[in-house]
């Protein structure tokens, strides 16, 4: 098997074809997948062999992930996943990696020589394949996108739908995502986690529980009598589409009849719809080290606060609450002094070594585990 050091040597040959250029692919598929755990090891081994980094979640309801690597390697990983007929037809969004990010990914960063790739889309030497209960956490086992979802709307048709005054446009993402960008006129539920979305819907549309059935009702003050409420047409969107699969399935289970969602999510919209025709305002937060993207999936301007993992602007970084690697205006008041001190220690390690934990972080011990003094001496001579 190819080792990590072989994958990401600092001496890279010039890129001669598109097959060697890097790209990021986000993908998911809801499926009946009870034996999902069996896929973890062979999938992780293949990613490591092909030098593909990123994160993948496996659950009884399917697969969800974002990976980065050469086009050829990524295509091989996706083909392997889809060799299981239950996972064929992955919904995916592809994003090319900029030359600057690619250079960092290949180890040409002078700012972090010991952790080359620290600023690349994903940790350059690492792939995570996790086992979870859900590929996107809503906390409602009865909601199944495998059985039914809303109506998909292509990016080309999206503007017409959300421009209709009879359509209620809902941003299904969390508040730290919506504050840096959203569609014009969209309703922001102001949730901090996707699992809070059902409660927001129940409150927003006055859904009441009656026995085992949930229906929407509204009280007319003049008659003081309850009558069925006519639920509005809903158009929802999220980053890549996966949260809308569950959210639309949930709304349908609550009696909503017209539920639409943006196919491919914001990312596909930004990729396909010209900026001159776009109704998107701001930037789109992404769950990797690019932090945010703009139209055409170009690199955005936001950075990440490593104290809370939220996007921050240049203006936020000028605020007195901002301290690199420790806090920002959005988390400063929520962190104790003890937490800030621990964060400062981690940041100090990173600034000194280029990686948290020291220069040998993640490497095999130079000597046997029962020889700490020899190991320490080896570390000293390697600095």
Whether residue 150 sits in one domain with residue 126: no
In CATH, what number is assigned to the domain containing residue 42?
3.30.70.100
For residue 222, being part of any structural domain is answered with: no
pLDDT in tens, 240-283: 999 999 999 999 999 999 999 999 999 999 999 999 999 999 99
pLDDT given for residue 23 in this prediction: 87
- pTM equals 0.77
* Burial class of residue 235, CB neighbours in 10 A (0-12, 13-18, 19+): buried
For residue 155, being part of any structural domain is answered with: yes
Question: Catalytic annotation on 7?
Answer: no
Q: Which of 96, 131, 166 is the last residue of a domain?
A: 131
Task: Note the maximum CA span of the chain.
Answer: 85
Do residues 70 and 19 touch, judged by C-beta distance below 8 A?
Answer: yes
For residue 218, being part of any structural domain is answered with: no
For residue 74, being part of any structural domain is answered with: yes
- Domain carrying residue 72: 22-111+120-131
pLDDT given for residue 8 in this prediction: 42
Of the candidates 162, 164, 183, the one whose C-alpha atom is nearest the C-alpha of residue 172 is 183
Do residues 301 and 307 touch, judged by C-beta distance below 8 A?
Answer: no
Please provide the DSSP assignment of 95-116 as one string: EEPPHHHHHHHTT--SS-GGGT
Whether residue 186 sits in one domain with residue 95: no
Whether residue 161 sits in one domain with residue 106: no
* Residue 62: strand, helix, or coil: strand
In CATH, what number is assigned to the domain containing residue 165?
3.40.250.10
pLDDT given for residue 363 in this prediction: 47
pLDDT given for residue 123 in this prediction: 52
Which helix (H) or strand (E) covers residue 151, if one does?
Answer: strand 151-153
Q: Please tell me which residue in 51, 238, 244, 305 is annotated as part of the active site.
A: 238
For residue 5, being part of any structural domain is answered with: no
Of the candidates 200, 276, 186, the one whose C-alpha atom is nearest the C-alpha of residue 237 is 186
pLDDT given for residue 100 in this prediction: 58
Whether residue 153 sits in one domain with residue 89: no
pLDDT in tens, 153-212: 999 999 999 999 999 999 999 999 999 999 999 999 999 999 999 999 999 998 754 444
The total number of structural domains that make up the chain: 3
Whether residue 191 sits in one domain with residue 145: yes
CB crowding 250-266: b at 16 or more within 10 Å, else e: bbbbbebebbbbbbbbb
* Contacts with 48 (C-beta within 8 Å, 6 or more apart), sequence order: 1, 2, 4, 7, 127
- How many whole angstroms separate alpha carbon 137 and alpha carbon 236? 17
Q: Pick out the chain residues at pLDDT < 70.
A: 1-20, 98-125, 208-229, 354-383
pLDDT given for residue 152 in this prediction: 97
């Amino acid at each position: 098997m190819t080792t990590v050091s072989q994958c990401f040597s600092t001496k890279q040959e010039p890129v001669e074809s598109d097959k060697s250029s890097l790209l990021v692919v986000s993908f998911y598929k809801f499926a009946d997948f009870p034996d999902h755990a069996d896929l973890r090891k062979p999938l992780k081994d293949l990613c490591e062999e092909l030098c593909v980094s990123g994160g993948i979640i496996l659950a009884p309801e399917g697969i969800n992930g974002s990976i980065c690597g050469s086009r050829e390697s990524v295509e091989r990983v996706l083909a392997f996943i889809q060799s299981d007929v239950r996972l064929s037809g992955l919904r995916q969004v592809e994003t090319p990696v900029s030359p600057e990010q690619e250079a960092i990914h290949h180890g040409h960063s002078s700012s972090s020589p010991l952790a080359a790739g620290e600023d690349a889309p994903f940790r350059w030497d690492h792939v995570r394949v996790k086992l979870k209960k859900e590929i996107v956490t809503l906390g409602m086992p009865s909601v199944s996108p495998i059985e039914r979802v809303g109506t998909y709307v292509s990016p080309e048709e999206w503007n017409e739908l959300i421009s209709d005054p009879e359509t209620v446009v809902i941003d299904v993402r969390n508040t730290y995502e919506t504050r840096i960008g959203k569609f014009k006129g969209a309703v922001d539920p102001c949730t901090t986690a996707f699992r809070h979305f059902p409660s927001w819907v129940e409150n927003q549309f006055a859904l009441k529980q009656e026995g085992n059935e949930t229906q929407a009702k509204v009280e007319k003050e003049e008659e003081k009598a309850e009558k069925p409420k006519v639920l509005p047409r809903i158009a929802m969107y999220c980053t890549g589409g996966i949260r809308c699969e569950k959210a639309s399935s949930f709304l349908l289970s609550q009696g909503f009849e017209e539920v639409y969602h943006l196919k491919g999510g914001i990312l596909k919209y930004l990729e396909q719809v010209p900026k001159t025709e776009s109704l998107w305002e701001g930037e789109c937060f992404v769950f990797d080290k690019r932090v945010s993207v703009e139209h055409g999936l170009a690199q955005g301007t936001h950075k990440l606060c490593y104290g809370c993992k939220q996007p921050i602007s240049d203006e936020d970084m000028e605020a007195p609450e901002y301290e690199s690697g420790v806090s920002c205006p959005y988390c400063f008041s929520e962190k104790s002094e003890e937490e800030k001190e621990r964060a400062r220690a981690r940041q100090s390690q990173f600034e000194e070594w280029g990686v948290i934990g020291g220069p040998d972080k993640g490497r095999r011990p130079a000597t046997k585990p029962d020889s700490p003094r020899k190991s320490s001496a080896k570390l000293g001579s390697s600095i």
